[in-house]
Amino acid sequence: MGKKKNLLDILKKLKRLPQIVTPKDASLILGYTGISPDSLIVDAGSGSGFLCIFLAYYCRGGKVVTYEKRPDFAKLVRKNVKSSGLKNIVVKEKDIFEGIKEKNIDLITLDMKGAEKVVENAFQVLKPGGWLVVYSPYIEQVIFVREEVENLKFTQIKTVENIVREWRVGRHTLPEVSGVIHTGWLTFARKSSKN
């Protein structure tokens, strides 16, 4: 890909079908996990491919393997990945409940129904010190995911909501009163480096 392509320009051109993880939340994943640019990342479900493209852009020395069970969305993701120009994304048309084939993973991101059912398998295939991040639009899923991560030897567990509010600055300065406030919760959990 051309060296000067800006990520936001790439994202603007992508087609969206399912709900995406926005740059506001995706950037928090990079900041809170501190993963290195040569990381191996597993992502599910791919959806429209926004999160996997975001992560692959910043981890260009590494690889993002993204699982999508629906053939129509897998096709869309492949199209979006091609349009991004990134070469370090592998799209697997597969149900992640059948198991994660990759090993020694630095980061696993889950944005899908039933994510709590993947937590145990994620723990097994993460490298010591690796991170699991679950994006949940509903608090009920956060509760299920927290139960799972707390039962395993995960450390540094936290759930956050990333609220960004713009301000209207002028003669009468005040916070914007409308706009997207809630997107989802992010649950972070790190496999202990002593495992």
Ligand X SMILES: C[S@@+](CC[C@H](N)C(=O)[O-])C[C@H]1O[C@@H](n2cnc3c(N)ncnc32)[C@H](O)[C@@H]1O
Listed in sequence order, the DSSP H helices in the chain are 7-12, 23-33, 50-58, 71-84, 119-125, 139-151
CB of 110 to ligand X, least distance (A): 9
Which of 5, 113, 158, 168 binds ligand X (CB under 6 A)? It is 113
CB 128 within 8 A of CB 104: no
111 sits near ligand X (criterion: CB under 6 A): yes
144-149 long-range contacts, CB within 8 A, separation 24+: 144/116, 145/115, 145/116, 145/119, 145/187, 146/187, 147/116, 148/116, 148/119, 148/120, 149/119, 149/187, 149/189
C-beta of 78: minimal distance to ligand X in Å?
13
Residue 116 lies near ligand X (rule: CB under 6 A) = no
Neighbours of 7 (CB within 10 A): 17
Count residues near ligand X (CB under 6 A): 22
Nearest-approach distance from CB 135 to ligand X, in angstroms: 7
Q: Which stretch binds ligand X (CB under 6 A): 89-97, 139-147, 166-174, 185-193?
A: 89-97
**Residue 50 near ligand X by CB under 6 A:** yes
Q: Of these, 39, 48, 84, 187, which contacts ligand X (CB under 6 A)?
A: 48
Give the footprint of ligand X on this chain (CB under 6 A).
18-21, 44-45, 47-51, 67-70, 73, 95-97, 111-113
